[in-house]
Amino acid sequence: MDEVKFGEILLPGDEDTQSRREKTVRQKFWPTFRRAVRQIPFSRDVVAGFYCALDPQTPTKVRGVLLAALAYFVMPVDMIPDIFAVIGFSDDIAVLSAAFAMVRGHIRPGHYEAADRVLADRPEEAMKTI
């Protein structure tokens, strides 16, 4: 996957596009994450990015980039279908890595704290610090 393709995937999009992506991400993130967690070497960052994307205090452009990457992650059809063991999520990992490199400074400690709570199986507490 080349830089041009990353650029196309990670376009923040307009308000309608972000709204559609947010709905998709909210619906499909957790089931997809549960299937992929063992194959993603930075799962804490993915969950923190999810909370950053849903945080209304996150700048619109940053939310857009994260929602674009997370929407790509949750979509069942992408460059390498996720049904293929081991390599199925490799393109998703590349897209997520590029997105995190672009927005790393915007993922706040509260997003990581929420991720830590969810990863420790305490989802009811996850949104308290955001």
User: Which are the contacts of 2, defined by CB distance < 8 A and separation ≥ 6?
Assistant: none
- How far is residue 19's CA from residue 96's CA, in Å, rounded to a whole number? 19
Q: What is the pLDDT of residues 101-119, one digit of tens each?
A: 999 899 999 999 999 999 9
* Amino acid at position 48, single letter: A
Mean pLDDT (whole number) for 3-25: 81
Q: Are 47 and 30 in contact (CB under 8 A)?
A: no
Tell me the helices (H) and strands (E) count for the chain, helix number first. Answer: 6, 0
Q: How many CB atoms lie within 10 A of CB 19?
A: 12
Q: What is the pLDDT of residues 74-92, one digit of tens each?
A: 887 655 554 444 556 677 8
